[in-house]
Chain A
Amino acid sequence: EVQLVESGGGLVQPGRSLRLSCAVSGFTFDDYAMHWVRQAPGKGLEWVSGINWNSSEMAYADSVKGRFTISRDNAKNSLYLQMNNLGLGDTAFYYCAKDVSRWALLPVDCWGQGSLVTVSS
């Protein structure tokens, strides 16, 4: 069974940093690209970042470029999102999602349960 489990969310003050992790199981992790997608409470889905199977290509939404860094450790079957200089607009559920191919071009076919990041003073 494919499982994606996010962790690392929580309450953080504006301007601070947070690192999300996503532990995966049930599939060969290094055969697939991965993404982070977020959803502010009561709002729609927003693609945040994607990384291909061997970390040679990463992409970011304009809203997070220069502040967020996606990475993966294939040996640990884990995906990460380093979030720096967080702002109120970054408050959201953050979903880890598996791409259907090695290249992070969407679609995604499996999602984690989401990790809530709340930015507030």
Chain B
Amino acid sequence: QSVLTQPPSVSAAPGQKVTISCSGSSSNIGNNYVSWYQQLPGTAPKLLICENNQRPSGIPDRFSGSKSGTSATLGITGLQTGDEADYYCATWDTSQSVGVFGTGTKVTVL
């Protein structure tokens, strides 16, 4: 079954910026909205970004999303120690009629 590819890990110093890529195909990212989730250690995931670039209420504008073709990107600016977590992209795959999540990226604040 299809899966979205993310880098296993990214890191940066406090206050810096990181970007996380999410690569898919025309049947998923290419034709559907992408969402992003943050999972802090030992907790359930939390929605960060929906519809490619929309932040739900309460999500700070340090988090941003974008999409181009069959790839999407999550950006985190002004990195904080509290941002250390696993991040996942997700979308629907139209050809297989299934939901798909990314492989996950661990963000480390140096």
Q: Which residues of A contact B (CB under 8 A)?
A: 35, 37, 44-47, 50, 59-63, 95, 100, 104-114
Contacts and interface: CB of A to CB of B under 8 A. Distances in A.
26 contacts: A35-B99, A37-B99, A44-B88, A44-B103, A45-B45, A45-B90, A47-B90, A47-B100, A59-B99, A61-B98, A62-B1, A62-B96, A62-B98, A95-B44, A105-B92, A106-B33, A106-B90, A106-B91, A106-B99, A107-B35, A107-B47, A108-B35, A109-B47, A111-B44, A111-B46, A114-B44
A100 B54 CA distance: 13
Nearest to A50: B99
A120 to B, nearest CB: 22
Contact of A105 (B32, B47, B88, B103): B32
9 shortest interchain CB distances as A-B pairs: A47-B99, A107-B35, A44-B104, A111-B44, A45-B101, A105-B92, A107-B50, A62-B1, A109-B47
B56 interface: yes
A106 B35 contact: yes
For chain B, give the interface size range. Answer: 20 to 34
A58 B33 CA distance: 20
Nearest to A114: B44
A96 B51 CA distance: 21
A77 to B, nearest CB: 19
A95 B98 CA distance: 17
A113 B44 contact: yes
B44 A45 contact: no
Contacts of A44: 86, 88, 101-104
Given A61-B99, A106-B99, A107-B50, 11 more contacts: A35-B99, A45-B45, A45-B104, A50-B99, A59-B98, A59-B99, A61-B1, A105-B32, A109-B47, A111-B46, A112-B44
